[in-house]
Structure 1
Amino acid sequence: MTVTTPTAVLIGPPGSGKSTLGRLLAERLGVRFRDTDADVEAVAGKPVGDIFIEDGEDRFRELELAAVRQALREHDGILSLGGGAVLSEETQALLDGHTVVYLQVGLADAVARVGLGAARPLLVLNPRSQLKKLMEQRRPIYERLAVLTVATDKREPAELADEIIKGLGR
């Protein structure tokens, strides 16, 4: 069995642009795009929000870790991880040696992109406050794991893709 490695692994909070930018990067680099949240949904047969509600966050995190592990082993394109995937120490260890790109976003831009009415399971009740808390909690982990950090606020995806491609030495 041939072991592959992703061209780049995108991490960051909800609203940082992992999916949008990931698809654009994959297209520009001529590689495939993969999102571990989509992998989790495919395995569970239901949306992430339903997994949280029906099965709980612990079950979601189990499925997420399995999806990350598999994708890192077999995907050779652009890989986007769910915003909370980096909370797992095992995921952090798995990311060691990979080209991890942290998409940094401020609260105002994240809120504008996510939308406060969106079906984000960890953002129920007070979405703005919850998102701020998640971002503050995860920021040090994102920063530590990243080999490249790109600020996304007030910037167009095409401009960000150019910066990342340059940062990847492509």
Structure 2
Amino acid sequence: MKKNNIIFIGMPAVGKSTIGVVAAKRLGMRFVDTDLLIQEQEGRLLHEIIEEAGEDGFLAIENRVNRELQVENSVIAPGGSVVYSDEAMRHFKEIGTVIYLRVSYDTIRRRIRNPRQRGVVLREGQSFQELYEERVKLFEKYADITIDEDQLSIEETIGKVLSVIKN
């Protein structure tokens, strides 16, 4: 398989899907939201999967769906927790360029008032800031390219993404 996909990683509310759809349109690529694929394959909503299968069950499903994804010429937006799935992330690095959309904790906190309502999986007793700090290390580990979008509008972020991809 050719390595011609673009995979966006980052916290919920960084704009992976929004930026992904626009980038795909402008680049003439397909857009794939793997959270929607998970829901489609499982026949239930993400929060239902988490409630019924638990966090570990959800992560196993997320890992499977993402590591089995076979696409070309696509912009892929997986859920923020995909970075816990080493198999899925290794697969993404083989099939494309992984772009980390980075924003500060303060920005994420402003965008997400209620993490649980947003479908963010927090372990028992884990704060949202602890989750952020834990995931940032993983995002940085897997990223081929990092785009800092603090202080940027969505349009400016898309412009930055497109200029990085075209170089």
TM-score, shorter chain, exceeding 0.5: yes
What is residue 152 of structure 2 aligned with on the other side?
155
Worse-superposed segment, 3-12 or 34-43: 3-12
Say whether the 8 Å CA contact 2:62–2:82 is kept in structure 1: yes
Distance 1:89 1:124, change over 3 A: closer
Q: Distance in 2 between matches of 1:119 and 1:99?
A: 27
Q: Tell me the equivalent position of 2:165.
A: 168
The alignment yields a C-alpha RMSD, in angstroms, of: 2.2
Quote the residue 1:87 is aligned against: 84
Distance 1:124 1:65 in 2: 18
Q: What is the number of equivalent residue pairs in this alignment?
A: 165
1:104 corresponds to: 102
Q: Quote how far apart the aligned CAs of 1:63 are.
A: 1.5
Question: Structure 2: which amino acid aligns with 1:106?
Answer: S
Instruction: List aligned pairs for 1:127-142, cutoff 5 A.
Output: 130-142=127-139
Give the corresponding residue for 2:9: 11
Q: Which runs of 4+ in 1 moved over 4 A?
A: 123-126
Cα distance, 1:133 vs. partner?
A: 1.2
CA distance in 2, matches of 1:48, 1:41: 6
1:38 pairs with one of 36, 39, 49: 36
What is the rounded CA distance, in whole Å, between the counterparts of 2:6 and 2:128 in structure 1? 25
Kept in 1, the 8 Å contact 2:67–2:88? The answer is yes
Is the partner of 1:33 in helix, strand or coil? strand
Quick check: 2:67–2:87 contact (8 Å CA) kept in 1?
A: no
The Cα of 1:130 is off from its aligned counterpart by: 2.8
Deviation at 1:115, TM superposition (A): 3.0
Shift of 1:124: 8.6
Deviations 1:13-47 (A, max 9, x none): 11211111111111111211111111111111111
2:87 and 2:55 map into 1 onto residues whose CA distance is: 17
Instruction: State the alpha-carbon separation in 2 of the partners of residues 88 and 55 from structure 1.
Output: 17
The answer to which of 22-31 and 91-100 deviates more is 91-100
CA 131–19 in structure 1, closer or farther in 2 if over 3 Å, else same: farther
In the alignment, structure 2 segments of 5+ residues that lack a partner are: none
TM-score (norm 2): 0.87
Q: Deviations over 1:126-167 (max 9, x none)?
A: 8xx732111111112211211110111231111111111111
